Amino acid sequence: MRGAALAQWTACAVAVALAATACGGGDNGGGASGVVRSSWGDPANPLEPANTNEVQGGKVLDMLFRGLKRYDPKTGEAKDMLAEKIVTTDSRDFTVTVKDGWTFSNGEKVTAKSFVDAWNYGAHLENNQRNAYFFGYIEGYDKVHPEKGRATADTLSGLRVKDARTFTVRLTQKFSTWPETLGYAAFAPLPRAFFDDHDAWLAKPVGNGPYTVESYARGSQMTMRKWGEYPGPDKARNGGVDLQVFTDNNTAYTALTAGNLDLVDDVPASQLKNVRADLGDRYINSPAGIIQTLAFPYYDDRWNADGMEKVRKGLSMAINRQQITETIFQRTRTPAKDWTSPVLAAEGGFDDALCGEACEFKPAEAKKLVAEGGGIPGGTLKITFNADTGSHREWVDAVCNSINNALGNDRACTGNPVGTFADFRSQITDRKMTGPFRAGWQMDYPLVQNFLQPLYYTNASSNDGKWTNEEFDGLIDEANAESDPVKAVEKFKAAEKVARDQMAAIPLWYQNGSAGYSDRISNVALNPFSVPVYNEITVN
C-alpha cells in the first residue's frame, strides 16, 4: 500500500497548489430554461440524414428533425408526425399527404418537395450517402444508384410531387409495412439551404425538429437550443442540450459522478458494478432493439455441409447465456430467446418461446449434437471479433469457456481478435471468415421485418454469413406482400422458424440501453433505439 499512500500524499500536495485555481461548477439556471449537459461521441460520418448510421449522429438527427412518422419513445410504435395520411390500395403505390403548418427553423415551409428532394439526394450514388440503400425499395433506385458504373437518372422515377402537400411513391415490390419504416432518420425532409449551400449547412445544420443548432464545434461540442416556434406536439421541456464530445466513456462517467455532466448514455462496462452505488435510481437499464448473434461463414463449404445445423444447434446449447449476461454484463444484456427483440412486443413479432431448447444451456445434449453433426470443422472453433470496442473480448472468452466445458475439450473454442472494427468489417466483406464471428444488429425501425430480411434474406445488405434458404426467402416475400399486419407478422415468424431449424445464426443476447444521469435533471428515458429522449428531459 505504500504506492497508494504516497500517491495520496502527492495528491494532497497538488490539491493545495490547486486550491487557488479550482474552478467553480457549471451554473446555468434550472426550470424550462435549464440546459442539459450530455455526453457525446464524435459522429463517424458527416451529419446528413441519409449519411448517419450510428447512435452518436442519430442523437442529433433525433433532436433536429421530424419525419413523416416518429417512433413512440416508449412503445416504438410508428405514429404519424408530419404525415397527415399515407394511403395505398395495393401495398405498392402510396400517396403521402404532408400536414400543413410545419416549417423548418429558418422559416421555410415543409412541403412534399422537401421530402422528395431529400430522398432523391439520399438515394443518388454521387452523393456518397452511407444509407442510400434505404431508398432501395423505391422504383428507379437501380437507375440513380446502379451497382456498377454511373447513375443514368438524377431522380427516383417512383417519386412524384402532386401538389404542395402531396406526393406519390411507387415501390419495386409489395411492402405493406413500408410506411412504418418512415420514422428512420434517412427519410427526414431537408430545407433548400441544404442543397444551396451545403458546406454552410453542414457547419450549422438546420432542421424542423424541436431543437435548433446554436453552435457546432466539430469534434468537441454541439450546442442545441429549444426552438420556441416548433409546431409539433413534442416540444422541448428544457432550454437546450449541450452535447459534449468525450474522449472516453470512463471519463464521461467520472465527470457525471463529479457533477460536471448531466447525462451519460453509455455507461462503461467496467463501471457497471459501481453504478447502483454511485447513482442509485438515476441509472437506466432498459431494453433496446439490439441483438447480438454469432454468424457463420456459409461460403465456407465446411460450414454449409449437411448435418452442420446440428453442430450449430449444439454450440448454441453449449453457451450458458444466463451466467454470462449476469456476471460479465451485469444484466445489461438479456439471454436471447428468438432472433428479434423484446422491444417489438408479442404483437410486433417477438416470441420468447421461438428458439426453445436450442437457446437453453444443455451441455450434455450439446456435446451429443456436435458429435452427431460431425464435430467442429477443423477441430477448433475460432470466434472472430473486433477487439477495439465494446468489451467483446470478455464475452467471447466466456462463450468459449462455456463451450469448452460443455464439450469437455479445452481446445474446442478460442477467440480470434481483429485489431480494428474497420479491419474486422473488411475481412467479413472479403469473405475471409473461417468460423463463427460476432454479428450485432441494431434495428433501423421497430419491425420484425428489419430483424430478419436484412440479415438472412439471400444476398441482403447485412447477410454477412451469406446464408441462403429458398423457403425463408419465399416466406419473407409473402409476408411483405401481406396487407393484414397480423397475418404478416405470422408469416415473418414462420420464416424465423426456418432460420431457427437451420440455426442460421446463434442468437446470444438482447442488448439493453444504459444511461446514468445527475440529480439536476429528471424525466430521463431511453427510446427503443437506446437514444435518450432529450425533449422530455426536465431540468430541476
Partner 1 sequence: MGRYVIRRLLQMIPVFFGATLLIFLMVNVMGDPVAGLCGDRECDPATAARLRAEFGLDQPVWQQYATYMGNVFSGDFGTAFNGQRVTELMAGAFPVTIRLTLVAIVFEIVIGISLGVLTGLRRGRPVDTGVLLMTLVVISIPTFVTGLLLQLLLGVKWGLVKPAVSSAATVDELLVPGLVLASVSLAYVTRLTRTSVAENSRADYVRTAVAKGLPRRRVVSRHLLRNSLIPVVTFIGTDVGALMGGAIVTERIFNIHGVGYQLYQGILRQSSQTVVGFVTVLVLVFLLANLLVDILYAVLDPRIRYA
Tell me which residues in 394-413 interact with partner 1 (CB under 8 A): none
The sign one gets for the Cα dihedral 299, 300, 301, 305 is negative
Q: Is 329 helix (H, G, I), strand (E, B) or coil?
A: coil
Q: Does 258 bind partner 1 (CB under 8 A)?
A: yes
The DSSP line for 435-492 is S-EEEEEE-SSS-HHHHHHHHHSTT-TT-TT----HHHHHHHHHHHH--SHHHHHHHH
Residue 75 touches partner 1, criterion: CB under 8 A: no
Does residue 522 interact with partner 1 by CB under 8 A? no
Q: Is 245 in the site for partner 1 (CB under 8 A)?
A: yes
Smaller CB separation from partner 1, 145 or 313: 145
Nearer to partner 1, 361 or 395 (CB): 395
Rounded least distance, CB 142 to partner 1, Å: 10
**Which residues within the stretch 446-465 sit at the binding site for partner 1 (CB under 8 A)?**
454, 461-462, 464
Q: How far is the CB of 105 from partner 1 (least distance, A)?
A: 22
* Of residues 131-190, those binding partner 1 (CB under 8 A): 132-133, 145-148
| Residue 89 interacts with partner 1 (CB under 8 A): yes or no | no
Please give the C-alpha separations between residue 250 and each of 93, 255, 286, in angstroms, as whole numbers.
49, 9, 20
For the bound state, the minimum distance from the C-beta of residue 4 to partner 1, rounded and expressed in Å, comes to 8
The set of residues, in sequence order, having a beta carbon less than 8 Å from that of 407 and lying 6+ positions away, is 318, 366, 367, 370, 413
Contact (Cβ atoms closer than 8 angstroms) between residue 420 and residue 298 = no
What is the x/- site pattern for partner 1, positions 357-396, by CB under 8 A? -------------------------------xx-------
Stretch that binds partner 1, among 41-49, 156-164, 167-175, 318-326 (CB under 8 A): 41-49
Q: Which of 32, 44, 87, 305 binds partner 1 (CB under 8 A)?
A: 44
Shortest spacing between CB 11 and partner 1, in angstroms:
5
* DSSP for 412-424, written as a single string: SEEEEEES-HHHH
- Report how many residues bind partner 1 under the rule CB under 8 A: 77
Residue 205's nearest CA partner among 64, 1, 57 is 64
Determine whether 172 is exposed, middle or buried from the number of CB atoms within 10 Å of its CB (0-12, 13-18, 19+): middle
328 interacts with partner 1 by CB under 8 A: no
- DSSP for residue 103: B
**CA dist 201 → 104, 213, 255 (Å):** 13, 11, 31
Instruction: Rule CB under 8 A: choose which of 28, 30, 45, 174 binds partner 1.
Output: 45
Return the range that interacts with partner 1 (CB under 8 A); candidates 11-19, 334-342, 366-374, 499-507: 11-19
| Cα→Cα distances 63→78, 203, 448, 520, 528, Å | 17, 16, 26, 21, 15
If binding is defined by CB under 8 A, does position 261 make contact with partner 1? Answer: yes
What is the identity of the amino acid at 509?
Answer: W
The C-alpha atoms of residue 426 and residue 99 are separated, in whole angstroms, by 43
DSSP structure class, residue 109: B
Q: Which stretch binds partner 1 (CB under 8 A): 79-87, 152-160, 238-246, 526-534?
A: 238-246
At 467, phi and psi to the nearest 5? -70, 140
Interface pick for partner 1 out of 18, 87, 305, 345 (rule CB under 8 A)? 18
Q: Which residue has the cell 500517491?
A: 7
User: Is 6 or 32 the residue whose CB approaches partner 1 more closely?
Assistant: 6
Residue 416 binds partner 1, judged by CB under 8 A: no
200 binds partner 1 (CB under 8 A): no
Residues 417-446 within binding reach of partner 1 (CB under 8 A): 419-430, 439-442
For partner 1, the closer CB: 89 or 247: 247
157 or 483: CB nearest partner 1: 157
